[in-house]
Structure 1
Amino acid sequence: MAIEPLLASRAQKAFIITISFQAVVVLVMIAIVFRLVEDEVTFTGGYKTLPCYLALFALAEIFELFMAFDALRMRNVIQLIGILLFHLALIVFSALQVRQTRTALVKFSDADCAESFDEVNCDGPGSLWRRVEPYLIVTPCVIAASWLSILFCTKQLYEEFGWAIFHVVGANPKMKTMYQWYQIMICFLKFDFFFFTGVTMQLLIVVLSRNSAEFAITIIAIPIVLILLGLCGVAVQREIKWIMTISLVMMLAAESYLSLFHGIQLKTRPTDLILVYKLVRFYEPASRAQYATTRATLTIFTIVAFLLLFATFAVGLRCFADFEKGLMESKVHGQSYTPVKNDVKMQVLNGDSIPALSDKPNYLPSGDSAGMGQPQGSYLGGSALGQRISIE
């Protein structure tokens, strides 16, 4: 069975087309909402939720499209499953934004609006909220419909990529398990990038003041964390132990750097976790109003980012334990779409031409690490064939 080239199979094409179509529709809906609001209000205070919403969805759709192409290129089944889960998260996020956008736009109570109707700040026929609401509702519906389509495609791709992985690491169960942990690690690092960027984007656009120390610390942390994720990916692929060690230590620091800053600021223990501190900040009375228009999404992003980074650290330890066990060749060179080939020669036996495997078949670069790289003798390498008897 030959390995299908990139985007050659029907399932791969359907997978990419579905995600691309969904991305276009969603971005158009959000752009319409942004334009309708921009014509009526200035993006200050609670209205900053709207540009943040557009920026997050633009990032999410571009990120998902990149992840889809990358999963097909790498034949990464784990990443396909991650995309399905990420798609579910987009459905939840888009549904939450309907309520949060209403919170940002509708500032007057029904009683106040009954006395003096304001088109921008009230909820009623002809109001700004009623004009943008249909476009906001379309978004989760489109994402949910596309999820069903990519779920069907993922099932077919799972069967297709299972054969490809066999060509990368062979039939050795231990090698297959180690390779799967490696795929999980790489997938986690990519999602770490998105959720970290999502949290910092919301903090910088909606919450933090440009004159605050927390704003400066967040800006400084962005390139540091991105470099950390990139180096960790290189280290786990190339099995560079000292870089991997530094990356794992820095992951723990990344989980606690904000808590260290706030711990000093609030005179509490600097070992308090960022998750606990941030969740308290979102809901405590002193700072509740500051997070009013983005509290729900910030809560979800913070929890997911924290748990995902912690899971990345744990899987990183598992991958570190698999270093120097013969998997590096598969990780570095085993992602090519070059199928396994055998040189075919025609041999003439008793007047009939039949194909025969050569004595030196070609293997994928990863074959040596899986115990399959040594040239195996062909079927003609043993005793000579006797006279063939035709059944025709």
Structure 2
Amino acid sequence: MYRPNTTWTWAFLLTSLLQAIVALALEAYIFARFQLSLKKNANILPQSRTIPTYLSVFMFGYIYQMVLVYDALRLKNTIQVIGLCIYNLGILVYASIQIDQINDAVMVLQENGLISIEFWGEIKPFLIVEPCLMAFGTILMSFVAWKLYDEFAWTIYKHISADLRLKRRYLTYQIYIAMLKFDFFFFLGFTVQFLVVVGNTTDAEFYLTIAAVPITILLLVLAAYWTRKENIIGMIAIIVIYFAALAYFLFKLVRMYGSDKSRVNDYLPARRSLTTFAVITIALLLVTIIVACQCTHNFNKGLKPHLARRKVPDLDEQKYTTEMPAIAGPVPNRMTID
């Protein structure tokens, strides 16, 4: 089991953990108040499902973040640590949008007499506190990540001697693997909200969307595997699938704001949240495609053996690192990010 062994790794872990605990407690309280405030037959309106869905996605986001934090520190992965700060910023945006989305849903439920009048006044302060917490947490995590950047880079520099070109290829590989981990959350967040909130979906589209979740997990695992094995055919297939996913999310955006008013109204209860997730996912997919192409371009250039034996033996400080083992030969110069 991994145990942080420096001040800054402990600081990053504890900052992330404290933020997650407070955020989960706030979301759990809002969730409980909502369930207790709902009136009988409230499930006839989609707004009764939107609030639990927002809160569930938010809570899963922080549980998933803690998994990635542990993973990044265990592997001493600088790229993933930086990515977690950006991820936290994305959660901040979601927490801010959540305020208006929940207010809109509560207003509709109140107009139909399906929720107590006092509910919004009770939870509003907690909804405002959340993005403030996220903003403070993002600033603090970014500062600690900066310190970790220097720490991890120096640790690796002391123990690894590598050709600069190989280290650049390895950096590209690390970025790609980190992107896959973040892609998963935003795709899943969009899919869950679409399945639960959006009405009048055809059976075919509904079941295909459900099937897409396990298929996506499998494809992301294969994407990482084929990159490590330098399988060109597999990577080409994955890149084609990325373009198909990109087209899917662009199609959803067009449908949410298109001329078909009936479909626009179906998306309306969760449109802002779905738009946020769709835009972030599209941006991530674009970056993922670019980095995947760079990884494929780097195949058969000497990186594969070092990906196959990532751990540096007999060095406690690097027992869990994913950085490249030492390579015999001179060091032309040092990279900025290791």
Q: TM-score, normalised by structure 1?
A: 0.75
Deviation at 1:211, TM superposition (A): 5.5
Alpha-carbon distance between aligned partners in 2 of 1:253 and 1:278, rounded to the nearest angstrom:
12
Q: After superposing the two structures, state which structure 1 stretch, 71-80 or 201-210, moved more.
A: 201-210
Matched AA of 1:50: I
Deviations 1:24-64, CA, capped at 9 Å, x for gaps: 11111111111111112244411211111121112210111
Structure 1: gaps spanning 5 or more residues: 259-273, 342-363, 373-392
The structure-2 alpha-carbon separation of the partners of 1:39 and 1:108, relative to structure 1 and needing over 3 Å to count, comes to closer
Matched AA of 1:253: A
1:56 corresponds to which residue? 57
Deviation at 1:171, TM superposition (A): 4.3
1:263 corresponds to which residue? none
Q: After superposing the two structures, state which structure 1 stretch, 128-137 or 169-178, moved more.
A: 169-178
Deviations 1:203-235, CA, capped at 9 Å, x for gaps: 011114576321111012222221111111111
1:83 aligns with 2:88: no
Identity across the alignment (%): 32
- For residue 148 of structure 2, the aligned residue among 157, 165, 188 is 157
Q: After superposing the two structures, state which structure 1 stretch, 22-31 or 161-170, moved more.
A: 161-170
- For residue 298 of structure 1, the aligned residue among 271, 274, 293 is 274
Alpha-carbon distance between aligned partners in 2 of 1:25 and 1:338, rounded to the nearest angstrom:
39
Deviations 1:40-90, CA, capped at 9 Å, x for gaps: 224441121111112111221011111111111222111111111111111
1:219 aligns with 2:178: no
Q: TM-score, normalised by structure 2?
A: 0.86
Matched AA of 1:7: P
Q: After superposing the two structures, state which structure 1 stretch, 53-62 or 242-251, moved more.
A: 242-251
1:367 aligns with 2:311: no
1:146 corresponds to which residue? 137
- For residue 184 of structure 1, the aligned residue among 150, 172, 175 is 175
The alignment partner of 1:120 has SS state of coil
Deviation at 1:15, TM superposition (A): 0.5
Alpha-carbon distance between aligned partners in 1 of 2:103 and 2:109, rounded to the nearest angstrom:
11
Deviation at 1:141, TM superposition (A): 1.6
Deviation at 1:303, TM superposition (A): 1.4
Larger Rg belongs to: 1
Alpha-carbon distance between aligned partners in 1 of 2:268 and 2:52, rounded to the nearest angstrom:
16
2:97 corresponds to which residue? 96
Number of aligned residue pairs: give it: 319
2:336 corresponds to which residue? none
1:15 corresponds to which residue? 12
Alpha-carbon distance between aligned partners in 2 of 1:120 and 1:165, rounded to the nearest angstrom:
57
Matches within 5 A, 1:1-392: 6-41=3-38, 42-43=42-43, 44-107=45-108, 120=115, 127-166=118-157, 170-209=161-200, 212-256=203-247, 258=248, 274-275=249-250, 277-284=251-258, 285-336=261-312, 338-339=314-315, 366-368=325-327, 371=329
Deviation at 1:339, TM superposition (A): 2.6
Deviations 1:146-182, CA, capped at 9 Å, x for gaps: 1122112111100111123336752422122111111
The alignment partner of 2:87 has SS state of helix
Equivalent residues of 1:6, 1:337 under 8 A apart: no
Equivalent residues of 1:167, 1:367 under 8 A apart: no
Q: After superposing the two structures, state which structure 1 stretch, 207-216 or 45-54, moved more.
A: 207-216
Deviations 1:227-274, CA, capped at 9 Å, x for gaps: 111111111123233332322222223333x4xxxxxxxxxxxxxxx4
Equivalent residues of 1:105, 1:121 under 8 A apart: no
Structure 2: gaps spanning 5 or more residues: 318-322, 331-338
Alpha-carbon distance between aligned partners in 1 of 2:314 and 2:52, rounded to the nearest angstrom:
44
Equivalent residues of 1:209, 1:215 under 8 A apart: no
Equivalent residues of 1:210, 1:216 under 8 A apart: no
Equivalent residues of 2:190, 2:278 under 8 A apart: yes
More helix by share: 2
Equivalent residues of 2:47, 2:109 under 8 A apart: no
Equivalent residues of 2:37, 2:116 under 8 A apart: no
Q: After superposing the two structures, state which structure 1 stretch, 192-201 or 212-221, moved more.
A: 212-221
| Cα root mean square deviation, aligned | 2.7
Deviations 1:305-325, CA, capped at 9 Å, x for gaps: 122122212211111111222
Equivalent residues of 1:236, 1:319 under 8 A apart: yes
Equivalent residues of 2:242, 2:285 under 8 A apart: yes
Alpha-carbon distance between aligned partners in 1 of 2:68 and 2:312, rounded to the nearest angstrom:
17
The structure-2 alpha-carbon separation of the partners of 1:159 and 1:323, relative to structure 1 and needing over 3 Å to count, comes to same
The alignment partner of 2:325 has SS state of helix
1:361 corresponds to which residue? none
